[in-house]
Every structure is written in structure tokens, then in C-alpha cells.
Amino acid sequence: MRRSRLLLSALALGAAITLQPQASFADYPDKPISFIVPFGAGGGFDQMVRVLVPKMEKHLGVAIAIKNNPGAGGRRGSILLYKSKPDGYTMGLNYFVPFLVDKHILGKKPGLDMEKVSVIYKTSHSRHFVFVAKNGPYKSLKDFTKADKSIKFPTTGIGASGWIAASALGAEMGFDSAFVTGYKTLSTAALAVARGDGDAGVGAIHHFGGFTNEVQPLVYLGAKREAHYPDVPTIAELGYPQLTALGAAHVLAAPPGTPEDRLEVLREAARKAARDPEFIAWGKETATDIEPTEPKGVWEEVEETGKMFSSLKPLFEKSKN
């Protein structure tokens, strides 16, 4: 009895294995998939991928190899992904922001044709806070607009995320933003705020969290309040919902021309992975907004961001004198 049951289940298993290829998705995927991360190992993007990928592997049934390809502010890796073979065995993160910066702010031809990118799915979005020194004169964002001088932001560089956020905020709310650039990371920029090199900073909790005695956040650049700082208002609450597109969207993509049925297989795996309890727990821990979004929503965001960036072009020209 027992043996026959064993035999039966073995048969069923065998049938399941042999029948698999006849399933609707043919035999894709049947070999490891490469995942290109356009940033170095250990950074924010990379960590997200390293948490997400095992969940995707579980649903796809094949290994996914992570390849870090950093350089040029995320451009190099995204371009490599763009140029890879569109057979469904190469996917990665496509970071749209630097290309939007090239197109709308730097006035440089982007290294890839953004519209052609095969968007798979957006899993999450890393957003920033605006913070000030505790002993400084600014107690709310409103105070920025009342100041009779420009608000000085220590940040990494012109065209980088901190500069974009502060410029966009100033443009929308009506205050002048000035910059002390050249800090290596947003964490060193946060130290600069704590030390008094400038008035205000832009960064995530892991950037300014070491200075909780010296700095305090004024606003979260998101739509929902961040769990670590439930008393800090969101930029949407303050009446600027368009600014929630700032920050780093984690968009999974594949090279242009990847067959739609294969994209759908990957998309389904991403959908499930983004809803995995462990992934959600990681989002809570690291203050990353988990935001499962279908391609349509991603394209809308890209367009919104592009529009916002175009309005920053005059500020960029001004900063170059």
C-alpha cells in the first residue's frame, strides 16, 4: 500500500517534470538569468536586488546571477543592459534618472533610447527626507520661504539626487536654493549639515540617522508617512504630490525587443517577489517604500519626472553662471 503510494507520487512527479515543457510558457526559463545592477556592490540598489533576487529565483526555478556594473552615475550598467541580447536571459535595474538628467538638465544626448527599454516591473522606491540642524533657525519647510537669503544645501553634486530634490523643492515652494557640492556621499553631506557647513540636507534615514542628536527631519518626500518618523509630514500632505516622484525608483527592465511572453514570466515572478513577506520586512527595516507598480504606472512616473526636470534646467544653467 505504502509502496504503491510512493510509486504513484513518483509517477506524478515524473509526469509533472515531463509535462512542464508543454505548459503555456514553453520551456522558458531553462538556464540561469543574468541580472545587471548599474551600481557597485553593497549600495542601496544592490542591497535591494540581493534581497529581491532569491524570491524571484524561487518563482522562476532558475538561478539569477547578479552582475554589478557601476559607473557614470548608473548610466554604464543601464546601457549595458540596453545593449544585451533580448532573449529574456538578461535583465536588470534600469535607472531612468541619470538619462532624464542628461536629456532635460545637462542637455546631453542620453546613452540609450529610454522609450525602447522593456520595462518589467517596479518593486520599490527609495525616498528622502529634508532635514535641518536642530539648533538652526528653520523649524519647518515654510521657514525656508520666509528666509531672506538662499537656503544652502551641502550635497554630492550638481545633477545628483540631492541637488535635484532641493532644486525642485525650491522651484515649487518658492525659495532660493544654494549648494555646497562635492561631498562624497549623502552621509558625508549629512555630517556637513550637522557640523554647520550649510542649512539643510536631503537624504534617507541611513544617511542622517547617525546624527539624530544634531539634525531633525522636516518633511518626507513621499506620499505616505515613513514609519520611523510618524510625526514628520509628507510632501504630498503639504500640497506637492508631484514631488513624490523624486528619489530612486527600483525599476526592473530587460533589453529592448525581449519577447513579451518572456517579459510576462519575469513580471509575474517580480510581482510575487515584491509581495513576499521578507521583502516587505526588508522595506520596513531600511525605510524603503515597497511600491509594486505595473509598466504603465512606471512610464507615467518617467514622464512626470521628465517634466519636473525640464523645469530645473534654468536653475542648472544659473548654477554654472
| Residues engaged in binding another protein (CB under 8 A) | 34, 40-43, 46-47, 50-51, 65-73, 75-76, 79-80, 83-85, 106, 111, 152, 156-160, 179-185, 187-188, 190-192, 194-195, 197-198, 205-207, 209-213, 285-286, 316, 319-321
Between 162 and 295, name the residue whose CB sits nearer to another protein: 162
| Least CB distance to another protein at residue 278 (A) | 10
Q: How many CB atoms lie within 10 A of CB 182?
A: 13
Q: How far is the CB of 179 from another protein (least distance, A)?
A: 7
In this structure, which long-range contacts are made by residues 296-303, counting pairs with CB atoms below 8 Å and at least 24 apart in sequence?
297/122, 298/119, 298/121, 298/122, 298/249, 298/251, 299/119, 301/122, 301/245, 301/249, 302/96, 302/100, 302/114
Q: Which helix or strand (DSSP H or E) is residue 205 part of?
A: helix 205-208
Annotate 59-82 with b (16+ C-beta within 10 A) or e (fewer): ebeeebeeebbbeebbbbbbbbbb
Q: Closest approach of Cβ 134 to another protein, in Å? A: 13
Strand ranges (DSSP E) for the chain? Answer: 33-37, 64-68, 90-93, 118-126, 129-133, 151-154, 177-180, 200-203, 215-220, 248-254, 289-293
To another protein, the closest distance from the beta carbon of 47 in angstroms equals 6
How far apart CA 182 and CA 168 sit, in angstroms, is: 19
The helix (H) or strand (E) run that includes residue 318 is helix 313-319
Judged by beta carbon, residue 199 or residue 301, the one nearer another protein is: 199
Q: How far is CA 282 from CA 8, 155, 247, 249, 277, in A?
A: 41, 27, 18, 16, 9
- Kindly tell me which of 21 and 71 has the beta carbon lying closer to another protein: 71
Contact 143, 122 (CB under 8 A): no
Q: Which three cell numbers stand for residue 240?
A: 506637492
Q: Phi/psi at 17 (nearest 5 deg)?
A: -65, -45
Work out how close the CB of 239 gets to another protein at its nearest, in angstroms, rounded to a whole number: 30
Nearer to another protein, 56 or 235 (CB): 56
Residue 142 or 284 having the CB closest to another protein = 284
Q: Which of residues 242 and 319 has its CB atom nearest to another protein in the complex?
A: 319
Query: Please, which residue, 51 or 202, has the CB nearer to another protein?
Result: 51
CB of 106 to another protein, least distance (A): 7
Cβ proximity to another protein, 226 vs 301, nearer residue: 226
